[in-house]
Amino acid sequence: MNKTKRIVILSLMVAQALVLSLIESWIPLPSPVPGVKLGLANIITVTVIIFYGFKDALSVVLVRCILSSIFGGGFTGFFFSMAGGILSTIVMYVLYSRGSKVFSIIGISIAGAVAHNIGQTIIASFVMKDVAIFMILPVLLISGVVMGFFVGLCSSFLERTLRNSKIFT
């Protein structure tokens, strides 16, 4: 694939991830616990890992975090989504590259969501300077599995559609 096409597609991916995270911020999720979220932008992260690999996935995540904090996340939000995003991208890439025969896209996405939530809990306990924050971990683990499942499902549909569309040939 030539360089221009790659840049164009990756830019489109950033734009899609950004739109997904904006839409997500409009959906009220009345959660008693901080950190429970849909993680829709992770659909794009998974897709970029599949088609382009780690470096491009990480750049898409970083650019998305920077832009979404400009559009309204604020500095704290930036810090948190950055930490969670980087950790989950690393975990998902390792599982995909080393174990795509053993793990389905759904499993990889669940692992990513759980890693994201654990990462944010660790950051939160540092920010609040209180280990009691870890008491919300059980809830975050469950929400990670549920949200990760749906994100993984969406990603595997998207993967199939993109392969059929022959964009990446």
Partner 1 sequence: MSMNMLKKGDIILLGIIAAAIVISFAVVSTYKRSGKDTDKVAVIKMKDEIIKSIDLSTVSQPQQIEISGKYIQVILVERGRIRFLDADCPDKICVNTAWLSEKGDMAVCIPNSTMIKIEGQSDKVDAVTH
Q: Assess 163 for contact with partner 1 (CB under 8 A).
A: no
Q: Assess 147 for contact with partner 1 (CB under 8 A).
A: no
Question: For residues 7 and 29, which CB has a smaller minimum distance to partner 1 in the complex?
Answer: 29
- The residues, ordered by sequence, that sit 6+ positions from 80 with a Cβ below 8 Å of its Cβ are 120, 123, 124
Closest CA to 69 of 83, 86, 82, 55: 82
Q: Assess 27 for contact with partner 1 (CB under 8 A).
A: no
Number of residues that make up the chain: 169
Least CB distance to partner 1 at residue 36 (A):
9
Q: What are phi and psi of 166, to 5 degrees?
A: 60, 30
- How far apart, in whole angstroms, are the C-alpha atoms of residue 27 and residue 20? 11
Q: Which of 1, 5, 97, 99 binds partner 1 (CB under 8 A)?
A: 99
Residues in touch with partner 1 (CB under 8 A): 30-34, 74, 76-77, 80, 95, 99, 101-107, 110-111, 114, 124, 127-130, 132-138, 141-142, 144-145, 152-153, 156
